[in-house]
Structure 1
């Protein structure tokens, strides 16, 4: 078992000694208090972690984190070391995501956290230890029912409540309404409107990123039909985030399907601090598209996928302007 504190100390040392960040900036990047950043850096020095060169997989991941942070104007990025899982590094992502979420809960700076759903987020919660977070609230950012009106098996709200003891609120509506008019009626219903209002108050949104593919989560879970997938591909969609679809250059596509999504509109999402988790080489195009949109404040990704993104040409981004001056959390 890897010592989590030792790994965090190595990250702190890399940022402080190699990247030249101040202790305060290190604390912001790692989502920890300044006093803890000081202790971690001191530990790294005391235990001989500091050399002329920072070596090993963590150092390589930190270099990728810095590259992606700068390229896409992120507040922070965390790269999970390669565990040799192949095309879909679910365990690596889950471990890194669980570490991030645990640190967020321990800091207690967010009273309301909005969460998406999907296989990766569900795996994150499965890797989390029991972490008391009473007084906090988790709220779904998207409807939790499939086209068959069955509960989404990868909904994370109830699992989060079990692991943390926090209050959790589910949106008991389909992911996509049958029409724009139906969506308007659904979202005004007593209880549902209250949950949706709570989601708007969330100070942190923790979400997954999907790809537009027959094997993707949207189709396999029954959230969209095959003919809708064809329409999405025809419109140039290559990624989705909370029911909204993105072209390869990072533009949010104005689609009727998106207008039926039971989630916040893109203009509302831009007002929030969004941290996304996703990986696997099959998702490179989808991840790049969402990164180019400038919507993300933070990204959790696996090492191989991060390498693929950093070896690409940067392309057009809007995150540099949007995130300028923002601190990583």
Structure 2
């Protein structure tokens, strides 16, 4: 009996060691080596702390560092382009009071920035959405890519709540569709705002938002513990402009009033404050002043054209996590 018990414990120990060693990381192998080397040799972190940051076991951290030395990743400097991203992440955290920042290398073709940032956002969400989470969701091209890249993995007792009204005609980007797709990926309950993104008149917007069904969804969004947002600029490929939500003359008026872009379809100035324009009184979306009710806000956006609106959002919104690219990170810090 004693022999069998010892044998059983030995097998369990081996299984635990295998699990410890094979914990998956969200980073590719080459990037994992560079990040581990940076944290260990430059920042002086312990292997235990590096294990927590990278999401791998302590034994694997030791092996990664050994491999980094053997393969020449560690010489007099760390030879990897990701090093600059790591430095930018730390600088962003300090400058904007973030709990975490994720910076990806800028795309050679800048039109691919939303795809690359979306891929990083999908990896982050896959690691950080847990059972029981209530996720309030914005919209945008980058978030759509993130949701597309998100692995299909049911997470118990999760809820996804759209923070905006929907489109009345089919378009590639739709807030309600994004919320539904996200919910389907993680097996979550889903709540949608049954109103258009913009009403025709402010009084119509007030009538829409006062409906009991709409108030229920807004209440659920207010009870979320995570909000995943993006921001929009005045670039030519802006969905708000391309989908005809707002007249070209109104876009010009918004810019003249000091708007640098939008968050949740509310147009804000460089200080992050809503501009005084009728368009902002017609938007059917979660109130910006209530974002402070949500404990963790994840901002997913990047590209040079988004620097001004990202800076504005960071100025007046308590963002916890920023997921962006090198171009935007450098622009945010160069001021």
Shorter-chain TM-score range: 0.7 to 0.9
Q: How many residues align?
A: 302
Q: Distance in 2 between matches of 1:269 and 1:17?
A: 39
Q: SS of 2:106's equivalent?
A: coil
Q: Which moves more between the two structures, 249-258 or 60-69?
A: 249-258
For 2:230, the equivalent position in structure 1 comes to 208
Query: What is residue 57 of structure 1 aligned with on the other side?
Result: 81
1:48 counterpart SS class: helix
1:278 aligns with 2:298: no
Please tell me whether residue 305 in structure 1 is matched to residue 325 in structure 2.
Answer: no
Q: Which has the higher helix share?
A: 2
CA distance in 1, matches of 2:33, 2:135: 27
1:124-174 deviations in whole A, cap 9, x for unaligned? 1112222222321111011112xxx22553231122133222222221211
**How much is the aligned-residue C-alpha RMSD, in angstroms?**
2.8
Distance in 2 between residues matched to 1:188 and 1:264, nearest whole Å: 13
Q: 1:97, CA displacement in angstroms? A: 1.1
Are residue 96 (structure 1) and residue 116 (structure 2) matched? no
**1:116 Cα deviation after fit:** 0.8
**CA distance, structure 2, for counterparts of residue 207 and residue 126 of structure 1:** 16
**Which has the larger displacement, 8-17 or 275-284?**
8-17
Higher mean Cα deviation, 17-26 or 205-214? 17-26
Which position in structure 1 is the counterpart of 2:106? 82
CA distance in 1 between counterparts of 2:283 and 2:62 reads 49
Which of 164, 172, 181 is the matching residue for 1:142? 164
Identify the residue that residue 264 of structure 2 maps to in structure 1: 242
CA contact (8 A) 1:207 1:276 kept: yes
- Distance change (3 Å), C-alpha of 1:258 and 1:110: farther
Distance 2:45 2:276 in 1: 40
CA contact (8 A) 1:88 1:281 kept: no
Deviation per CA, 1:230-263, whole angstroms, max 9, x where unpaired? 2211111012111222222444434432233222
Q: CA–CA distance in 1 between the matches of 2:67 and 2:157?
A: 37
Q: Using the alignment, how far apart are the partners of 1:126 and 1:135 within structure 2?
A: 21
Matched residue SS, 1:264: coil
Native 8 Å contact 2:298 2:322 kept in 1 = yes
SS in 1 for 2:293: coil
Partner SS for 1:219: helix
Q: Which of the numbers 101, 107, 114 marks the counterpart of 2:136?
A: 114
Native 8 Å contact 1:9 1:40 kept in 2: no
Conserved? CA contact 2:257–2:276, under 8 Å? no
Q: What is the aligned counterpart of 2:68 among 35, 43, 48? A: 48
> Aligned partners of 2:297 and 2:195: how far apart in 1?
23
Q: Are 1:296 and 2:319 an aligned pair?
A: yes
In structure 2, relative to structure 1, the CA distance for the partners of 1:223 and 1:10 (3 Å cut) is farther
Selected match of 2:282 from 232, 239, 260: 260
> Kindly tell me: are residues 302 and 40 of structure 1, through their superposed partners in 2, closer, same or farther at Cα, counting changes over 3 Å?
farther
Q: Distance in 2 between matches of 1:261 and 1:24?
A: 48
Residue 8 of structure 1 deviates from its aligned partner by 4.6
User: Partner of 1:134: helix, strand, or coil?
Assistant: coil
Structure-2 change in CA distance of 1:232 and 1:300 (3 Å): same
Provide the C-alpha distance between the structure 2 equivalents of 1:128 and 1:295, rounded to a whole number of angstroms: 25
Task: Describe the shift of the 1:12–1:239 C-alpha distance in structure 2 as closer, same or farther (beyond 3 A).
Answer: farther
